[in-house]
Amino acid sequence: MEDVVIIDYGMGNLGSISNILKKIGYSSTITNDLQIINNAKKLILPGVGKFDKAISNLESLHLIDLIRSKSSRGTPILGICLGMQLLAKSSEEGVLPGLGLIDGRVLKFSNDDDLKVPHMGWNLLKYNSNCPLYLNFDILKEVKFYFVHSYYFEAENPMYIASESNYGISFSSSVWKDNVYGVQFHPEKSHKFGMMLLKNFMNIPC
Amino acid sequence: MLKSRVIPVLLLKNNGLVKTIAFNKSKYLGDPINAIKIFNDKQVDELIFLDIQASKEDRTPDFELVKKIASECFMPLAYGGGISRVEHIQKLFSIGVEKIIINSAVLENQSLISEAAEIFGNQSIVVCIDVKKNFWGKNQIFCHVNNKTIDLDVLEHAISCQNAGAGEIMINSVDRDGIMKGFDLELIAKISSGISIPLIVCGGAGSIEDFKNAKDRGASGIAAGSFFVYHGPHKAVLISYPSPETLEEYLS
């Protein structure tokens, strides 16, 4: 069995995720096959694009209930970028409900203060060192990741915030609840930082 | 936080990687995927790929090749070459490119910039301007598609691209391409003080001091080709990238 399954629901190029996993020594499968996803030890939910389109793609592939069931069975799940936002209950970008795996909603950055939206580029993280994703990050002088997004996750409970970053306002750049993790940035485009984070995710016991 | 970015520029021709001198004499260096793998290990913060044939051959980007390249990049990727329509840009983003670079398509008309910036946000739109000195040393815009200079002021063009919605301007000095004797610092100072968006400079980098000089003249992004792919006086092909400590020392 592969180490991790990357869910393919037609939102973006997933090649760099499987390649960076290979680079750090893990095999992955990119698929939307229900059986393979159901048996996966770990799941990555990637995604670039619009919230409603993503949810309706998941719906039509019968993946919504399956992802929820995997989450309740304790399978470690990592949402990346839009994949993180899908974990919320709702998004200002759309009208469809999210997966609701982490209580929170997705809001749009306001255009005030000459803030350029999308937020795009490398940015720093203030992380919770108790979160398994940031294991061993304390040895680094600075922790930065690459972001491209116009919407951000607002967790209902600060307990769920795994890291914060600043872009005009402080926002949750990653969230975490039990076995479900979400990162707003792109670990697969953040070279050594991304490799460390993904290695940590892959090392989470399942 | 706003340390200047140091960006390798890789040129594509017939699916291979090449390096030019003054936009000519392209020399084959090797396979682009191998080069990316080396840059991944060097923790490069950004890569630029330019297909130098696409616009000349009046064709669209080679989306299959760009997709392969994007899949191998563990850093953000900017791509330029053959982009003339919003649909090309849409497709490039969907296959994993983070920024697109437009050049010849906006020399006469900047509407592609505004259309693209409206849909995708201006951060992802870079306009590259090739600059060549004429016989009297005056800077002129060069169009690589027909090998001609254009009677257009470089700064004025940069400003109109900025006003149309470009997120970054990239200046590429044709005469200095591949020469490795330093950037056109006067030009950098003039353009950087005349625009309000970040300026990426390219053409002439031969040493880390050149990076510092460009940064001191206001460049936010320092791009180079030969510097990263050649080694020694005989220009042996060897990919390298300064260590984080060196970059810190010169560019912070």
Among A13, A120, A124, beta carbon nearest to B123:
A120
pLDDT at residue B94, as a whole number:
87
pLDDT category of residue B252 using cuts at 50, 70 and 90:
confident
pLDDT category of residue B1 using cuts at 50, 70 and 90:
very low
Predicted confidence (pLDDT) at residue A114 exceeds the cutoff of 80: no
* Mean pLDDT to the nearest integer, B104-121: 92
Predicted confidence (pLDDT) at residue A113 exceeds the cutoff of 70: no
pLDDT category of residue B123 using cuts at 50, 70 and 90:
confident
Which residues are within 8 A (CB) of B118 and not within 5 positions of it... i.e. 6 or more apart? Answer: B165
- Would the CB atoms of A148 and B95 count as touching at under 8 Å? no
- Would the CB atoms of A189 and B98 count as touching at under 8 Å? yes
Cβ atoms B107, B155 nearer than 8 A: no
Closest-CA residue of chain B to A194? B74
For residue A1, the cross-strand partners are: none
A47 in contact with B at a CB cutoff of 8 Å? no
How many CB pairs below 8 Å do chains A and B form together?
67
- Would the CB atoms of A148 and B98 count as touching at under 8 Å? yes
| Alpha carbon distance B13, A83 (integer Å) | 36
Predicted confidence (pLDDT) at residue A190 exceeds the cutoff of 60: yes
Which residues are within 8 A (CB) of A175 and not within 5 positions of it... i.e. 6 or more apart? Answer: A84, A87, A102, A104, A153, A155, A160, A161, A162, A181, A182
| Alpha carbon distance A6, A14 (integer Å) | 8
Q: What is the pLDDT of residues B5-42, one digit of tens each?
A: 899 999 999 999 999 999 999 999 999 999 999 999 99
Closest-CA residue of chain A to B165? A116
Does domain B5-251 fall into CATH 3.20.20.70? yes
Going by the DSSP 8-state scheme, the letter that residue B190 receives in this structure is: H
Bridge-based pairing state of the strands A104-108 and A151-155: antiparallel
pLDDT category of residue A120 using cuts at 50, 70 and 90:
confident
The H or E element that residue B42 is part of is none
Closest-CA residue of chain A to B67? A13
* Mean pLDDT to the nearest integer, A163-174: 95
Predicted confidence (pLDDT) at residue A110 exceeds the cutoff of 50: yes
The encoded tokens of residue A91 equal: 């998004």
| Alpha carbon distance B138, A160 (integer Å) | 59
The domain segmentation of chain A, as residue ranges, is 4-203
ipTM score: 0.87
A141 in contact with B at a CB cutoff of 8 Å? no
- Would the CB atoms of A15 and B74 count as touching at under 8 Å? no
Q: What is the pLDDT of residues B153-212, one digit of tens each?
A: 999 999 999 999 999 999 999 999 999 999 999 999 999 999 999 999 999 999 999 999
pLDDT category of residue B248 using cuts at 50, 70 and 90:
confident
Question: Which residues from B are below 8 Å from A30, CB to CB?
Answer: none
Q: Which residue has the tokens 């995720």?
A: A17
Q: What is the pLDDT of residues A58-102, one digit of tens each?
A: 999 999 999 999 999 999 999 999 999 999 999 999 999 999 999
- Would the CB atoms of A150 and B44 count as touching at under 8 Å? no
Q: How far A191 CA sits from the closest chain B CA (Å)?
A: 5
Q: What is the pLDDT of residues B70-100, one digit of tens each?
A: 999 999 999 999 999 999 999 999 898 999 9
Q: Which residues of A are catalytic?
A: 81, 186, 188
pLDDT at residue B193, as a whole number:
94
What is the average pLDDT score of chain B? Answer: 94
Under CATH, which architecture does the A4-203 domain have?
3-Layer(aba) Sandwich (3.40)
Q: How far A11 CA sits from the closest chain B CA (Å)?
A: 8
Q: What is the pLDDT of residues B210-247, one digit of tens each?
A: 999 999 999 999 999 999 999 988 899 999 999 988 98
pLDDT at residue B2, as a whole number:
52
Q: Which residue has the tokens 């607002």?
A: A154
Cβ atoms B213, B183 nearer than 8 A: yes
Q: How far A23 CA sits from the closest chain B CA (Å)?
A: 10
- Would the CB atoms of B75 and A191 count as touching at under 8 Å? yes
* Mean pLDDT to the nearest integer, A40-52: 94
Is B2 buried (19+), middle (13-18) or exposed (0-12) by CB count in 10 A?
exposed
- Would the CB atoms of B121 and A194 count as touching at under 8 Å? no
* Mean pLDDT to the nearest integer, A198-205: 97
Q: Which residues of B are catalytic?
A: 130
A10 in contact with B at a CB cutoff of 8 Å? no
Q: How far B121 CA sits from the closest chain A CA (Å)?
A: 6
A15 in contact with B at a CB cutoff of 8 Å? yes
- Would the CB atoms of B74 and A195 count as touching at under 8 Å? yes
Closest-CA residue of chain B to A144? B1
pLDDT category of residue A118 using cuts at 50, 70 and 90:
confident
pLDDT at residue A181, as a whole number:
98
The domain segmentation of chain B, as residue ranges, is 5-251
Cβ atoms A150, A100 nearer than 8 A: no
Q: How far A179 CA sits from the closest chain B CA (Å)?
A: 26
Q: Which residue has the tokens 């940031």?
A: A134
